[in-house]
A and B are shown apart, each in its own frame.
Chain A
Amino acid sequence: GAGVSQSPSNKVTEKGKDVELRCDPISGHTALYWYRQSLGQGLEFLIYFQGNSAPDKSGLPSDRFSAERTGGSVSTLTIQRTQQEDSAVYLCASSLDRWSYEQYFGPGTRLTVT
Chain B
Amino acid sequence: GENVEQHPSTLSVQEGDSAVIKCTYSDSASNYFPWYKQELGKRPQLIIDIRSNVGEKKDQRIAVTLNKTAKHFSLHITETQPEDSAVYFCAEYGNKLVFGAGTILRVKS
Contact = CB atoms under 8 A, between A and B. Distances in A.
Interface of A: 33, 41-45, 48, 56, 91, 101-108
A112 to B, nearest CB: 15
Task: List the 7 shortest-distance A-B pairs measured between CB atoms, nearest first.
Answer: A105-B43, A101-B32, A43-B99, A42-B101, A42-B99, A105-B44, A42-B102
B97 interface: yes
Interface of B: 32, 34, 36, 42-46, 49, 51, 89, 91, 93, 95-102
Contacts of B101: 41-42
Nearest to B44: A105
5 contacts: A42-B89, A56-B95, A101-B49, A102-B49, A107-B43
A33 B34 CA distance: 16
Contacts of B99: 42-45
Given A42-B89, A43-B89, A103 B46 contact: yes
B60 to A, nearest CB: 18
Nearest to B100: A42
Given A42-B101, A101-B34, A91 B46 contact: no
Given A41-B101, A101-B34, A101-B49, A48 B44 contact: no
B33 to A, nearest CB: 9
Contacts of A42: 89, 99-102
B49 A91 contact: no
B95 A45 contact: no
B89 A48 contact: no
A104 B43 CA distance: 9
A41 B42 CA distance: 14
B56 to A, nearest CB: 18
Contacts of B98: 45
A105 B45 contact: yes
